[in-house]
Chain A
Amino acid sequence: MSITSENAKQIRKGMEVHVSLNTNVSGSYASVYSTSSAKIVRDPSTDQSDINAWPWRRIADFQSDGFPLDGSFKLWDGDTIDSQTKGVVGIRSNVGISSLRVVVHVTGDASELTLRFASEGGTIQTVSGADSVEYDIRETVIIPCSGSSELFYCYPSDQYSRVEIFSITPGVSISIDNENLLSATLALRADLSLEKPSFPVSEIEVRAYWPSDISAILANIDEGVPLTYYAGYSGSYSTTRHFYLSEPITMEKNELLIKAEDSSARLDSYRVPLQALYIKPEEARRRIYTFFRNIIKNSGISLISAQANPPLNLTGNSQHALIIRERTAREYVQDIMNLSRAKESVQNGIGGFWPSFVDAGIPKVTWSKPTAKWNIYEYDCGEVKRNVSQQVTALKTEDSFGVDSSTSMDNLWTPLYYDGSGYSDVENRHGILGDPLKVTAGQSVIKNFDLEEVGYWHQYLYTDQPVTRVWSRINSICFKPTKTSKKTGSGTSERWTNLLGIKGKRLDIRAGNNPLTKSGGDSGRTIETDPIVYGHASVKYSVTVQTWQGPQTYTYTDSIYPVYDALFSKSNITGSFLWKGDPRMQPRDVFNFHRLDGTVETCTIESIEMKHEGGGTTATISYRLGVV
Chain B
Amino acid sequence: MIGVFESITINGVRFYRPNNFSLRREDVLAGEYTTCTGKLIADRIGWKYSDMTLSWDTLPQAMLDALTGLSGPVQMVFTDSDGAHTETIIRGAFTNTPTRFTDYNGAVMWSNVSVEVRFVNVHNE
Chain A interface residues (CB < 8 Å from chain B): 10-15, 378-384, 578, 580-581, 596, 611, 613-618
Of the candidates B37, B41, B124, the one whose C-beta lies within 8 Å of that of A580 is: B41
* CB under 8 Å from chain A, chain B span 37-78: 37, 39-46
Look across to chain B and name the residue whose beta carbon is closest to the beta carbon of A617.
B31
State in angstroms the CA–CA spacing of A611 and B35 once bound together. Answer: 18
Q: Closest Cβ of chain B: how far from A145's Cβ, in Å?
A: 36
Look across to chain B and name the residue whose beta carbon is closest to the beta carbon of A615.
B45
Contacts of B34 in A (CB 8 A): 382
Say yes or no: A616 contacts B32, CB within 8 Å: yes
Contacts of A10 in B (CB 8 A): 39-42
Contacts of A380 in B (CB 8 A): 35, 39, 41
Contacts of A13 in B (CB 8 A): 43-44
CB-defined A-B contacts under 8 Å, sample of 25: A11-B29, A11-B40, A11-B42, A11-B43, A12-B43, A13-B43, A14-B45, A14-B46, A15-B43, A379-B35, A382-B33, A382-B35, A382-B36, A384-B36, A580-B31, A581-B31, A596-B37, A613-B31, A614-B30, A615-B30, A615-B31, A615-B43, A616-B43, A616-B45, A618-B31
Say yes or no: B44 contacts A12, CB within 8 Å: yes
Of the candidates A15, A379, A617, the one whose C-beta lies within 8 Å of that of B39 is: A379
Q: Closest Cβ of chain A: how far from B42's Cβ, in Å?
A: 5
Contacts of B42 in A (CB 8 A): 10-11, 616
Say yes or no: A616 contacts B40, CB within 8 Å: no
Contacts of A613 in B (CB 8 A): 30-31
Chain B interface residues (CB < 8 Å from chain A): 27-37, 39-46, 124
Q: A380-B35, A611-B31, A617-B31 are in contact. List 15 more A-B contacts (CB 8 A).
A: A10-B41, A11-B42, A14-B43, A14-B45, A382-B33, A382-B36, A580-B31, A580-B41, A596-B36, A596-B37, A613-B30, A615-B31, A615-B46, A616-B30, A617-B43
Contacts of B35 in A (CB 8 A): 379-382
Pairs of residues from A and B, 5 with the lowest C-beta to C-beta distance, nearest first:
A616-B31, A616-B30, A615-B45, A14-B45, A382-B33
Look across to chain A and name the residue whose beta carbon is closest to the beta carbon of B27.
A11
State in angstroms the CA–CA spacing of A11 and B30 once bound together. Answer: 10
Contacts of A15 in B (CB 8 A): 43
State in angstroms the CA–CA spacing of A384 and B41 once bound together. Answer: 14
Look across to chain B and name the residue whose beta carbon is closest to the beta carbon of A618.
B31
State in angstroms the CA–CA spacing of A10 and B44 once bound together. Answer: 10
Contacts of B44 in A (CB 8 A): 11-14
State in angstroms the CA–CA spacing of A617 and B42 once bound together. Answer: 8
Q: Closest Cβ of chain B: how far from A379's Cβ, in Å?
A: 5
Q: Closest Cβ of chain B: how far from A295's Cβ, in Å?
A: 39
The verdict on A578 contacting B30 (CB below 8 Å), with A13-B43, A615-B45, A616-B45 known, is no
Say yes or no: A379 contacts B27, CB within 8 Å: no
Q: Closest Cβ of chain B: how far from A377's Cβ, in Å?
A: 9
Say yes or no: A616 contacts B37, CB within 8 Å: no
Look across to chain A and name the residue whose beta carbon is closest to the beta carbon of B124.
A14
Say yes or no: A618 contacts B33, CB within 8 Å: yes
Contacts of B33 in A (CB 8 A): 382-383, 578, 618
State in angstroms the CA–CA spacing of A370 and B41 once bound together. Answer: 29
Contacts of B28 in A (CB 8 A): 615
Look across to chain B and name the residue whose beta carbon is closest to the beta carbon of A15.
B43
State in angstroms the CA–CA spacing of A35 and B58 once bound together. Answer: 62
Q: Closest Cβ of chain A: how far from B125's Cβ, in Å?
A: 12
Q: Closest Cβ of chain B: how far from A181's Cβ, in Å?
A: 12
State in angstroms the CA–CA spacing of A596 and B39 once bound together. Answer: 13
Q: Closest Cβ of chain B: how far from A22's Cβ, in Å?
A: 27
Q: Closest Cβ of chain B: how far from A578's Cβ, in Å?
A: 5
Contacts of B30 in A (CB 8 A): 14, 613-616
State in angstroms the CA–CA spacing of A614 and B43 once bound together. Answer: 10
State in angstroms the CA–CA spacing of A85 and B66 once bound together. Answer: 52
Of the candidates A14, A382, A615, the one whose C-beta lies within 8 Å of that of B41 is: A382
State in angstroms the CA–CA spacing of A581 and B33 once bound together. Answer: 12
State in angstroms the CA–CA spacing of A27 and B64 once bound together. Answer: 65
State in angstroms the CA–CA spacing of A618 and B43 once bound together. Answer: 9
State in angstroms the CA–CA spacing of A11 and B47 once bound together. Answer: 13
State in angstroms the CA–CA spacing of A581 and B31 once bound together. Answer: 10
Contacts of A618 in B (CB 8 A): 31, 33
Contacts of A379 in B (CB 8 A): 35-37, 39
Q: Closest Cβ of chain B: how far from A68's Cβ, in Å?
A: 14
Q: Closest Cβ of chain A: how far from B33's Cβ, in Å?
A: 4
State in angstroms the CA–CA spacing of A380 and B33 once bound together. Answer: 10
State in angstroms the CA–CA spacing of A382 and B43 once bound together. Answer: 15
Contacts of B27 in A (CB 8 A): 11
Look across to chain B and name the residue whose beta carbon is closest to the beta carbon of A6.
B43
State in angstroms the CA–CA spacing of A615 and B29 once bound together. Answer: 8
State in angstroms the CA–CA spacing of A69 and B43 once bound together. Answer: 32
State in angstroms the CA–CA spacing of A580 and B30 once bound together. Answer: 11
